Chain A
């Protein structure tokens, strides 16, 4: 591998540490009577934001009570991210394109599994409603968007990565670019 590739990979590993200091994902809710907006952020080990207010609203339609405890992911996510950072660092040290290929596969699989896990939780949270809910709209479910905006009754819900999320996603893409560069655009020694 070119030294520049190894440096970019090493920097990527450092950037990923940001996942521990900033929220990973942000879900926003907008409605006319909430001009100040409501939001919930997912950190590496907790939920934060207007959780009580969102719970207060969601209980009308029978959605579950949100809490950090309802996500077992918060218990092990920090170790998974640590593992990924180690893999990235080892790749930089290894100076081996096959290891780099392995890393790209790990990142790809982690990303897909992570988003699937998130989608699955959203599906459950939006569909699995308490049947004594006060407001029941036939055929209506409240699954938040995986990415982007979606109208849910009087709210517009938005779902986007936050600073900590970008701190992982951008380096991941950098690593993919490095891989493409190394694999297809440099001569084999």
Chain B
């Protein structure tokens, strides 16, 4: 049952993504609307999946790469839906849906069994730290998506009135993402002091979270202080995405450390 929900979400995202791209290229309004509803159905399936999994596990579903990727993917979908309805932004739908699908596809490659939460993760900070990370990464990925959309629109028509909004959205997403990443890092530091006795251990995950934070802080300084907007900002938002993905996937797989849960380094956290 759970697996069916998961793959239903994945398939719905794929159909929605394909439909949104086709509708974007061929300007098919009807198809765009249908695809959007399919995307929302996918987000609903993913949400129900996460809720059931959380109830079954008796905790928030964010404890390993699979669960984090699911939450991350759902975070992108949630922000995209918020942007669509609250901010009336529809130009991000196709690329946002692609990001949602790709992250959930990555989740599909991970082991899906529900495992018991290890003692180190049993903390009041668990949901706060990991939840803010999922939404922060989601904001950065969507900023990258907005960057791609900006460049495409700019190439087509540099006078497109939507460009200003896209540019502002890149900035806004990065600003919110940075705020959330700050909360992630600081709550992680407080948690680390409770669990490991030190606020900061220069663990690779911490270091790459700091690198990501600095990169986006530089972006905001350049934008607000040096008025670096438009094409520059769009390229910056796109180029920074691999750094976010490396912090999420690469560090856990290539650079073992305290955050490599399940590895033999800290068999029971300790």
Whether chains A and B associate is no
- Partner-B contacts on A (CB < 8 A): none
- Partner-A contacts on B (CB < 8 A): none
